[in-house]
Amino acid sequence: SQFFRCRNSYCRLGVLPLEYFSNNSVFVCCRYVMERRWFEQWKEFVENGDQNSSSFPGQIDNSELFEDLDSYHLKERLVENEDFVLVPAEAWHKLLAWYGIVDGQPPLERKVVDLPSTLKVEVYPVEIFLCLHSNMENVITAQFSHSRSRHDVCLCAESIQRAMCQGFSVPPGSECRLWMKSSDSSCERLRNVHMSVLDACLSSGMTVIMETRNADGTWPSSRPQIMNSVEDQDSYRGQPGVCGLTNLGNTCFMNSALQCLSNTPPLTEYFLRSSYLEELNFTNPLGMKGEIAEAYADVIKQMWSGRHYSVVPRVFKTKVGHFASQFLGYQQHDSQELLSFLLDGLHEDLNRVKNKEYIELRDAEGRPDQEVAEEAWRNHRRRNDSVIVDTFHGLFKSTLVCPECHKVSVTFDPFCYLSVPLPVSKERVMEVFFVSLDPYAKPVQHRVVVPKAGKVSDLCSALSEMTNVPPSQMVVADVFNHRFYKIYNADESLSCILDRDDIFVYELSVQKEEQEEHVLLALYLRERSHYRDYGSGSSSYGTSLFGHPLLLSVPRSSCSHEELYNLFLRSLDQTEPLGGANANCTDNVNPLDSSRVTDTSSGPAAEQTQQPCETTEEENEEDKQEEACSPSPPANEQPAKRRACRKRRKTLFTIQAVNSNGTTERGVGEGGTQPYVAIDWDPEMKKRFYNENEAEKYMKHSSMEVPQQQTTVQLQECIELFTTVETLEEENPWYCPVCKKHQLATKKLDLWSLPEVLIIHLKRFSYTKFTREKLDSIVEFPLRDLDFSGCLLRKNRSREEPPSRYDLIAVSNHYGGLRDGHYTSYARNKDNGQWYYFDDSKVTYASEDQIVTNAAYVLFYHRQDKLRKPTLPSPITSPASSTEPASDITSCNDDDAELGATSYLTMETD
């Protein structure tokens, strides 16, 4: 019976080439190696038909294929059809059932490897060496297949990790990672343990090293830099999560965002449980090959190990810069921008959807909102399924209305955070200095309220109400470094003027409609510094600007040197309070300093200060002409005295034509109509007659005494403003499918469903075509019971749906302005419920009354039904109320923190 069973099943047993089965849909994923002589004897036995023939093969025997019968290791360089044959699995199992196998011999099962260009039976599997990072001398040898089969998990790189955990008795649940070491001693990380041995480029002779994560969240091979002193690294035990982050140079924006995410319970617990290891997506073209997720996991596990004062996130910073070039280097950035990139990167690295299908989006077309919303959410989850979607994604309704055909387009779009605008005031408070024509009045600082979108003329009008000077007699200028940075026209926008600019408003002697016969002259003050040019044998001098510049309206007919000199002398006395007595000279010019220049007409004082002056023939001739022209000169007015006054005036300063920078022109004009002149003081004369300290003084108007009201808005107002109707900008029109053209449609956003953790970004930085500013308004946001029930468009919710009340868990703060600033964060620890203040590597206790400030920038809210009670008692039972954080919890010397590794870093300037 056995004979006939074999004979009739001969072809069916698969004694045919491999190509026959692959071409006839009988392909199976494995073959069995058999010793060729036994197989040939079996064929002869079957073909002869003699049941008692001496060709009966007996038990299957592969002894000739092994080097020895102890290890059953295959001989090297065996040749198919000479030393062995390959039979399909079905044939092997039939033969094994009929004849059995010699005791002790293992079946030689081999996989069929799907190579890029052919199918091949893997007679010799990959033989690699396995060892632990902690003990490289203890090596075991193992064999693995190249197979690409996704259904055979034993053939993927994960099987190597399981074999190593079993062979080296690694405790269950330990987080491990593998490194491939080739013959040239270079090591490469084996990130995706789910890929086949072939795809991992493992070959015979290679060594695979496994390391397990340390208890403090670090890896043995990383040598991480932490901010504990060496002696404290092993002994320090702190509250998990209460850990600072070192500032690597303007990286406070990154530290603030990381601290907020670190204190988001569902995300942190997901990484602490190592759930991410099973969901790393290495094939997503939109992801970062799992590297961002792994780098973030390393930071979180170190921060929550409770064994570090502070962690140095250098590897994470490097990974972020590698995948997002805008964060390369050490410039200042925005914490919300980093947060947006990080959430998107984590989502794509952990996306459970390996192959995203194409889904055509549909408009509502009059369908009920509930139906359209459910369809949109299903479509979103078909392409996006990750812990980020589970935790942070919600849904809002977008309604567009065409202004021409009134076509209404309704879509439901997912969101990861809400960027809500702040109510912007239409008015602006400006501080300016008013320079009057009053001979002895100091500049007066005023605080005026002007339209934010107004013009310079509006500033003059507002100031006119305080000074009673007509706006037409005012000129506005920006003064910087003793010179005019800009002189504004009346029709220029106030958005050109920044709050930090020093703005001076000058009163003119005539109104603007009369200024055609006048010249607006800009006057600079300079001090000469003598030096000798030994090459030419002549003396020359350099100059340096000082004091406040002046703007004067000068008649075109009075621009002679003498008249300008007299005008400047009077202007200096009226704008720089340097004297008040009058000298009885012919032109009645006020001396600059009454304490030094005295009356030259008569009296002891005149005798004490009068100095003999040498006169030239030209001056004597001028005196004679003046006597002839004067009908009745005063009796006490002698030509010599007039000469003395003129001589003294000429030695106070000289006049030079200059450019707008205050440097002397040398026959080259600037092409503009605004003339600039400078008066150059001799250092000795300046010291005698110019009181620089007095000249810098100014008065404060009563408007400066009124405290500025800090603008306060409610978070609810910001959310309502987010959901109001707006018109699209010209740069972002909407294509109307009915009109067949782009339209500036009206757009309205409504909240439909909210996530477990809601991130609210307060849009403090305002950028328009005309203005750039940071809004420092205080946004009053609740720490508990933030209720969105009135904001959700979907009013009727089932009992199974989650509530819409949230509690605050973290805040990212920004201090400073547009060009510079510093980021910190407040966060509530998930384990003990205590609030902490994180300022880079420094961590302090915080009380709840400190959290709401005008620096709040990004808010993190956790839905109440997902909140859990703290598992540990709070370290502060009743935190003291204060305006500053309490005592330090984690702080240390940054010089010791990096163990000498950061000497090349720049100091933080943000």
Q: Which residues are catalytic?
A: 252, 822
The span from the CA of 768 to the CA of 762, in Å, is 17
886 CB contacts (<8 Å, ≥6 apart)? Answer: 844, 845, 846, 847, 876, 879, 880
Token digits of residue 547: 């004091």
Helix (H) or strand (E) run with residue 835 in it? strand 835-839
Helix (H) or strand (E) run with residue 772 in it? strand 772-774
User: Cβ distance 503 to 433 under 8 Å?
Assistant: yes
User: Cβ distance 246 to 310 under 8 Å?
Assistant: yes
Token digits of residue 488: 């504004």
The span from the CA of 806 to the CA of 785, in Å, is 5
User: Cβ distance 394 to 740 under 8 Å?
Assistant: no
Angle at 569 between CA 473 and CA 443, to 5 degrees: 45
Closest CA to 264 of 696, 829, 749, 886: 829
Spell out a b/e string for 409-427, using b for 16 or more CB atoms within 10 Å of the CB, else e: bbbbebbbbbebbbeeeee
In the block, which residue shows the tokens 């040197």?
A: 561
User: Cβ distance 257 to 338 under 8 Å?
Assistant: yes
The span from the CA of 610 to the CA of 111, in Å, is 118
For 523, counting Cβ atoms within 10 Å of its Cβ (0-12 exposed, 13-18 middle, 19+ buried), the class is buried
Our separate counts of H helices and E strands in the chain read: 21, 40
Output the CA torsion 66→70→73→77 (10° steps).
-40
3-state secondary structure string, 465-532?
HHHCCCHHHEEEEEEECCEEEEECCCCCEHHHCCCCCCEEEEECCCCHHHHHHEEEEEEEEEEEEEEE
Check the CA dihedral 257-262-264-266 and report its sign: positive
The span from the CA of 189 to the CA of 197, in Å, is 14
**Strand 699-700 vs strand 444-451: parallel, antiparallel, or unpaired?**
parallel
The span from the CA of 305 to the CA of 237, in Å, is 9
Long-range contacts of 165-169 (CB under 8 A, 24+ apart): 165/210, 167/130, 167/140, 167/142, 168/130, 168/132, 168/138, 168/140, 168/210
